């Protein structure tokens, strides 16, 4: 009986289900060593870089198959664990495996380029350099650098972290042949000395650290600590313990803006170089960090959500800071949640994972309630810091000045006069959310979205914050020609203008995505004010994990919009945001004050937060979710479709809905369908948007239905006329 021919099963970065069959270059039967390697293959008139996912039997006539162009890797780029995890991820999120694999690696590897050289280097003095130090100009940078090298070779990663501009001084020494660059081995890489020991742990922190040290194998630890309770100290101690065991650690943070502050603290306390990985780095820097971890050279990586897919052959620990943050959910491409992927990877690697937050997501809270996660509570702030005093002020029938009530202005003034800093929080950037004609009622609308254009007064332009459309501010009303165009509402830009006028003797710094767009923009903004008395005006960027020791007053403006949102997660997001931003106040010795101005002071959500804090809200919110059969007590999937023609997207989803009804009856699955409905924003970026929501009590029933219809949905002719995607466990219904 003839031996059946074998081929490569290749996953390509295409929005198509299934794998593609190719022959090897020489036509020989491939072995298992091919799995996990990249190959360049012909696909139509072009060539693509794909991943060998399996070696299988040829299911079509061999003469119909094409050979690959070239094999790009002699050994697998990914670990077997990561490849298996990504296969599961593709299945769970109903995404093509090729797209998932491509999203998990840096751009240079997706393009087919070789992994970069990640050998780490250090600089040391030569014999001539050691003898010539005294001839250098006293107190000069070259002399300080040469003196430091006298005690031994210093790794470049350490110089990058603590010596700004060291390269020019090193070049000066190198031209004299007084220094030389040497490659480091693994033993040398762990030889750096932490610059600080850190504060002593309190009893709650110590109990948490001891529980983590005693844990073996896979477990999910939820650290529920009030803001300022010292969660980062626990993370650092856990990473130090991990390194002492000779293992690697991964730390996820929600935003790029948080990375520099976190990296600084970790680098000061850890005995190894700390790598970083986020989208604001160059392609080369991202590939360097990814490859260093993959080869075991890197020991600690701090990154944003995509870093969860970094290979760790010697994994020992994964940490997810601010685990509740919606930034961990990927909204483009395949819609994964990095927090859930961190838990999955920890289980696959048989290592612990720490989830930390002052306001855990209701999913994590529920998992801790039922014993799936181990909860560790930090109820007190670290050191001598005390929780801030929170007060709500009723602004009904009160005249506002610059969008602020008198009580807010008095609180800011008292804080500034005492030498402290005040933060005014408004989660809307720009000058005003709308431009209105007072005579005819005209409102400037985005021509591509169902939303008003936001006025940015500094640029004298109108912006759409959804699609990016811009145009100049009109000098007169386009409808009636009136000059009575008025800005409606307040954004951070308008608040900055008003506060600068009200407090001209103090600096006022605006912190939003418009002022922090450049690399290290947030760090520069915070450095500008330092510890001096002044005002920070900002959006939710300021609510995420920043330590502002001289911040004593927080004013919250504009919470009313979220109190009556149609999104069932709106109250959870608002509660988390209020607790997080309030927690910025009073982080040092002096107590902080928080003032929330609202037209709805008696709203139950605000009453719950005042009476019992986030735990009280979480308990009531979970009871409501259970009665309403909403997550985390049920499981959701959202099928989105969009097209330049509304009826085209609607027709496609109606066909999908018919498939859903037929398959759930055939398979006897208890899955509820919402029917085809317009999205929360029916038109965005010139496209009409419709959606179909599926809900099931049992996760496996929902997954079985999605798996049953996935190939059929791809096969629909109407699917080629729309953009569509599955979103399993959706966080955003807009």
Q: What total of structural domains would you count in the chain?
A: 5
Q: Is the pLDDT of residue 90 over 90?
A: yes
| Averaged pLDDT score across all residues of the chain | 90
pLDDT at 521: 67
pLDDT score at 524: 75
Please determine, for residue 191, whether its predicted confidence score (pLDDT) is greater than 70.
no
For residues 299 and 276, give the distance between their C-alpha atoms in angstroms, rounded to a whole number.
11
Identify whether the C-beta of residue 605 lies closer than 8 Å to the C-beta of residue 596: no
Q: Tell me, yes or no, whether 262 lies in a domain.
A: yes
For residue 698, give the CATH number of its domain: 3.30.70.360
For residues 276 and 403, membership in a common domain is answered with: no
How far, in Å, CA of 590 to CA of 420, rounded? 9
C-alpha distances in angstroms, 170 versus 176, 301, 522?
10, 27, 29
Domain-located, residue 576: yes
Q: In angstroms, what CA-CA distances link 501 with 402, 508, 656?
A: 9, 10, 57
The predicted pLDDT at position 28 comes to 85
Side-chain-side CA neighbours of residue 728 (13 Å): 23
Kindly state whether residues 362 and 404 are assigned to the same domain.
Answer: no
pLDDT mean over 73-79: 90
- Same-domain status, 363 and 414: no
Tell me, yes or no, whether 475 lies in a domain: no
Query: 724 and 640 in contact (C-beta within 8 Å)?
Result: yes
Q: Give the 3-state secondary structure percentages of the chain, helix then strand then coil, rounded to 5.
A: 35, 25, 40
Mean pLDDT of 431-437: 94
Q: Tell me which DSSP letter residue 569 carries.
A: T
Query: What average pLDDT does the segment 316-326 reach?
Result: 96
3-state SS, residue 552: strand
pLDDT level of residue 417 (50, 70, 90 thresholds): very high
**Does 170 share its domain with 307?**
no
CATH of the domain at 294: 3.40.50.300
Distance CA 590, CA 183 (A): 49
Side by side, the strands of the sheet bearing 374-378 are 274-277, 300-303, 248-252, 315-321, 352-357, 219-225, 374-378
Q: Is the pLDDT of residue 681 over 60?
A: yes
Between β-strands 454-456 and 461-463, what pairing exists: parallel, antiparallel or unpaired? Answer: antiparallel
| φ, ψ (nearest 5 deg) of residue 137 | -65, 130
Residue 189 lies in a domain: no
Among the candidates 86, 110, 134, a domain finishes at 110
Contact 488, 433 (CB under 8 A): yes
Give a yes or no: residue 151 inside a domain: yes
Percent of the residues in the chain that have a pLDDT greater than 70, as a whole number: 95
For residue 255, which of 188, 315, 294, 302 has the smallest C-alpha distance? 302
Cβ–Cβ < 8 Å for 407, 596: no
Residue 189 has pLDDT above 50, yes or no: yes
Q: Give the number of other Cβ atoms within 10 Å of residue 510's Cβ.
A: 24
Above 80 in pLDDT, residue 196? no
Reported as a pLDDT band with limits 50, 70 and 90, residue 185 is low
Structure tokens at 191: 């030889």
Residue 199 has pLDDT above 70, yes or no: yes
Q: How many CB atoms lie within 10 A of CB 676?
A: 20
- 84 with 128, same domain? no
Q: How far apart are CA 223 and CA 238, in angstroms?
A: 12
Strand, coil or helix: 643: strand
Residue 485 included in any domain: no
- CA-based torsion, 326, 276, 512, 450: positive or negative: negative
Q: Please report the pLDDT score of residue 258 as a whole number.
A: 64
User: Mean of the pLDDT values across residues 55-84?
Assistant: 89
567-620 residue pLDDT tens: 999 999 999 999 998 888 876 677 889 999 999 999 999 999 988 899 999 999
Owning domain of residue 604:
389-429+491-619
85-99, 246-260, 503-517: which is most confident: 85-99
Across 242-265, average pLDDT = 86
138 has a pLDDT exceeding 90: no
> Do 569 and 422 fall into the same domain?
yes
Which three-class secondary structure state does DSSP give residue 538? Answer: strand
Identify the pLDDT of residue 132.
87
Cα–Cα distance for residue pair 272/56, rounded to 1 Å: 43
* Residue 115, in any domain of the structure: no
Indicate the SS3 state at residue 32.
helix
Q: Which residues pair with 688 in a beta bridge?
A: 643, 683
Which of 155, 183, 211 delimits the end of a domain? 183
What integer pLDDT is reported at residue 87 of this predicted model? 95
Q: Which residues contact 79 (CB under 8 A, 6 or more apart)?
A: 36, 294, 311, 312, 313
Same domain, 235 and 372: yes
Among 237, 272, 278, 216, CA closest to 522: 278
Minimal CA–CA distance to 249: which of 156, 322, 373, 351?
351
Residue 110 pLDDT greater than 60, yes or no: yes
Beta carbons within 10 angstroms of residue 629's beta carbon: 12
Which structure tokens are listed for 110?
A: 């997706």
- What pLDDT is stored for residue 31 in this prediction? 87
Q: What is the pLDDT of residues 334-370, one digit of tens each?
A: 899 999 999 999 999 999 999 999 999 999 999 999 9
Q: Are residues 373 and 244 in the same domain?
A: yes
Distance between CA atoms of residues 659 and 653, nearest Å: 10
Do residue 99 and residue 133 come from a single domain? no
Please name the residues in contact with 406: beta carbons below 8 A apart, sequence gap of 6 or more: 398
Q: Name the pLDDT band for 193 (thresholds 50, 70, 90).
A: low
Look up the pTM and report it: 0.91
Residues 393 and 364 occupy one common structural domain: no
Helix (H) or strand (E) holding 267: helix 259-269
Residue with tokens 């994990």: 545
Domain match, 315 and 405 both: no
Please report, for the domain that includes residue 26, its CATH number: 3.40.1440.60
Mean pLDDT in residue range 3-28: 88
C-alpha torsion sign, points 455, 458, 461, 465: negative
Asked whether the predicted pLDDT for residue 234 surpasses 50, the reply is yes
More confident residue, 379 or 260: 379
Distance CA 224, CA 437 (A): 49
Burial of 689-709, coded b for 16+ CB within 10 Å and e otherwise, reads bbbbbbbbeeeebbbbbbebb
pLDDT exceeds cutoff 80 at 506: yes
Percentage of the chain beyond pLDDT 90 is 67
- Do 242 and 321 lie in one domain? The reply is yes
The H-or-E segment that residue 613 falls in is: helix 604-628
Coil, strand, or helix at residue 312? coil
Residue at 479 is within a domain: no
CA distance 400 to 416: 20
pLDDT surpasses 90 at 519: no
343 SS3 class: helix
């Amino acid at each position: 009986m003839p031996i059946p021919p074998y081929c490569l099963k290749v996953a390509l970065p295409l929005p198509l289900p299934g794998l593609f069959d190719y022959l090897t270059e020489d036509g020989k039967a491939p072995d298992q060593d091919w799995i996990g390697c990249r190959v360049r293959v012909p696909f139509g008139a072009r060539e693509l870089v794909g991943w060998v996912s399996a070696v299988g039997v040829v299911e079509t006539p061999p003469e119909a198959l094409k050979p690959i162009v070239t094999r790009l890797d002699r050994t697998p780029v990914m670990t077997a664990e990561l490849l298996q995890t990504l296969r599961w991820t593709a299945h769970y999120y109903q995404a093509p495996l090729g797209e998932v694999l491509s999203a998990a690696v840096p751009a240079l590897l997706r393009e087919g380029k070789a992994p970069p050289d990640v050998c780490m280097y250090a600089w040391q003095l030569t014999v001539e350099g050691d003898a010539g130090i005294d001839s250098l100009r006293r107190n000069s940078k070259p002399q300080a650098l040469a003196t430091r090298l006298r005690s031994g070779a210093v790794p470049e990663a350490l110089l990058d972290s603590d010596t700004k501009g060291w390269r020019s001084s090193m070049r000066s020494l190198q031209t004299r042949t007084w220094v030389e660059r040497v490659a480091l081995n693994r033993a040398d890489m762990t030889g750096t000395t932490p610059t600080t020991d850190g504060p002593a742990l309190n009893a709650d922190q110590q109990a948490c650290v001891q529980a983590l040290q005693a844990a073996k194998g896979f477990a999910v630890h939820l650290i529920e600590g009030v803001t300022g309770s010292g969660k980062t100290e626990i993370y650092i101690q856990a990473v130090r313990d991990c390194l002492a065991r000779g293992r690697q650690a991964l730390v996820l943070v929600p935003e790029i803006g948080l990375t520099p502050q976190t990296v600084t603290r970790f680098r000061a306390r850890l005995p190894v170089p700390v790598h970083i990985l986020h989208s604001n780095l160059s392609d080369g820097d991202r590939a360097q960090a990814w490859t260093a971890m993959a080869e075991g050279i890197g020991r600690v990586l701090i990154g944003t959500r995509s870093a969860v897919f970094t290979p760790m052959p010697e994994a020992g620990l994964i940490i997810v800071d601010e685990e509740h943050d919606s930034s961990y959910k990927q909204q483009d491409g395949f819609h994964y949640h990095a927090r859930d992927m961190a838990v999955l990877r920890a289980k696959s690697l048989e290592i612990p994972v720490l989830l930390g937050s002052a306001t855990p997501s209701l999913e994590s809270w529920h998992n801790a309630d039922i014993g799936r996660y181990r909860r560790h509570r930090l109820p007190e702030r670290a050191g001598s810091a005390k929780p801030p005093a929170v007060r709500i002020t009723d602004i009904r029938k009160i005249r506002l000045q610059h969008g602020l009530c008198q009580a807010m202005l008095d609180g800011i003034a008292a804080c500034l006069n005492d030498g402290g800093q005040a933060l005014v929080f408004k989660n809307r950037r720009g000058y005003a959310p709308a431009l209105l004609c007072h005579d005819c009622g005209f409102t400037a609308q985005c021509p591509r979205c169902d939303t008003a254009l936001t006025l940015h007064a500094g640029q004298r332009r109108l912006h759409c914050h959804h699609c990016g459309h811009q145009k100049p501010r009109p000098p007169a009303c386009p409808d009636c020609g009136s000059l009575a165009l008025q800005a409606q509402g307040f954004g951070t830009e308008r608040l900055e203008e008003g506060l600068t006028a009200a407090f001209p003797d103090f600096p006022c710094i605006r912190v939003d995505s418009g002022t922090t767009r450049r690399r290290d923009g947030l760090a520069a903004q915070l450095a500008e004010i330092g510890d001096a008395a002044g005002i920070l005006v900002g959006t939710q960027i300021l609510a995420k994990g920043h330590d502002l020791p001289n911040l004593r007053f927080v004013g919250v403006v504009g919470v009313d919009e979220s109190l009556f949102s149609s999104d069932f997660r709106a109250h959870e997001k608002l509660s988390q945001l209020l607790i997080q931003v309030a927690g910025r106040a009073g982080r040092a010795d002096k107590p902080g004050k928080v003032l929330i101005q609202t037209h709805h002071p008696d709203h139950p959500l605000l009453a719950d937060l005042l009476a019992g804090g986030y735990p009280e809200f979480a308990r009531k919110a979970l009871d409501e979710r259970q009665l309403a059969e909403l997550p985390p007590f049920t499981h959701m999937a959202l099928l989105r479709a969009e097209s330049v023609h509304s009826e085209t997207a609607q027709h496609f989803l109606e066909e999908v809905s018919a498939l859903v009804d037929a398959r759930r009856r055939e398979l006897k699955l208890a899955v509820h369908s919402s029917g085809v409905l317009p999205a929360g924003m029916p038109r965005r970026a010139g496209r009409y948007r419709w959606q179909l929501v599926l809900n099931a009590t049992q996760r496996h029933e929902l997954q079985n239905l999605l798996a049953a219809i996935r190939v059929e949905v791809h096969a629909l002719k109407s699917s080629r006329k729309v953009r569509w995607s599955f979103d399993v466990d959706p966080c955003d219904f807009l």
